[in-house]
């Protein structure tokens, strides 16, 4: 037996090389394993599953816009009514209804909306700024698809410009 041990020491075993080199570890950090908490049976009302979040539909969605105008203060109502008349003049076949709490106008797609702040009435025009000719810089906003006109006085209502902008928005959505 002693000879076997001695012989085993003299002839070391050769390691066979692997065919594929070991893969390198990526530099990305590994996320730690998540531990799931032990589930305990619930009792009573807590045992019921909570329903998925449901978004309530606005009650005014699709409603006529007349109520919106009626509830505005007189000085803002005057400006909003003037803007409404210009939108209807520029797009006579447009549908007017409530959407997002404001009067919304659409033909094949939505092209403008009216809204009121505490200090001004506004016309939102849904068209890229390059489609809207505004050399005086009356339109405000920095988005890619919308600009708005704030009306704080009767002098802010430039009929020719508003008609041109609304027609451009209608053409953009047609």
Q: Tell me the Cα Rg of the chain.
A: 35
Reading the chain (174 residues) residue by residue, the pLDDT tens digits are: 555 555 555 556 666 656 666 666 555 565 666 666 566 555 655 556 666 767 667 788 888 999 999 999 999 999 999 999 999 999 999 999 999 899 999 998 999 999 999 999 999 999 999 999 999 999 999 999 999 999 999 999 999 999 999 999 999 988
Cβ neighbors of 62 (< 8 A, separation 6 or more) are: 97, 98, 99
State pTM to two decimals: 0.66
User: What per-residue confidence (pLDDT) applies to 126?
Assistant: 96
Q: How remote is the C-alpha of 137 from its chain's centroid?
A: 26
Q: Residue 34: its pLDDT value, please?
A: 63
Instruction: Answer whether 133's CB lies under 8 Å from 168's CB.
Output: yes
Domain ranges of the chain: 66-173
CA 7, CA 83: separation in Å to the nearest integer?
Answer: 105
d(CA 112, CA 94): 10
How does strand 95-99 pair with strand 121-125?
Answer: unpaired
CATH class of 66-173: alpha beta
């Amino acid at each position: 037996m002693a000879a076997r041990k001695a012989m085993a020491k003299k002839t070391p075993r050769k390691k066979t090389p692997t065919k594929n080199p070991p893969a390198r570890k990526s530099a990305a950090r590994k996320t730690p394993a998540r531990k799931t908490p032990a589930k305990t049976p619930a009792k009573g009302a807590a045992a019921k599953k909570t329903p998925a979040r449901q978004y309530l539909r606005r009650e005014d969605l699709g409603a006529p816009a007349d109520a919106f105008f009626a509830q505005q203060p007189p000085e803002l109502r005057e400006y909003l009514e003037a803007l409404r008349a210009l939108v209807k003049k520029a797009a006579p076949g447009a549908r007017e209804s409530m959407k997002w709490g404001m009067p919304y106008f659409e033909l094949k797609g939505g092209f403008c909306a009216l809204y009121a702040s505490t200090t001004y009435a506004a016309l939102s025009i849904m068209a890229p700024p390059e489609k809207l000719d505004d050399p005086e810089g009356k339109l405000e906003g920095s988005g890619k698809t919308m600009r708005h006109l704030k009306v704080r006085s009767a002098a802010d209502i430039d009929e020719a410009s508003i008609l041109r902008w609304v027609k451009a928005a209608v053409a953009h959505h047609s």
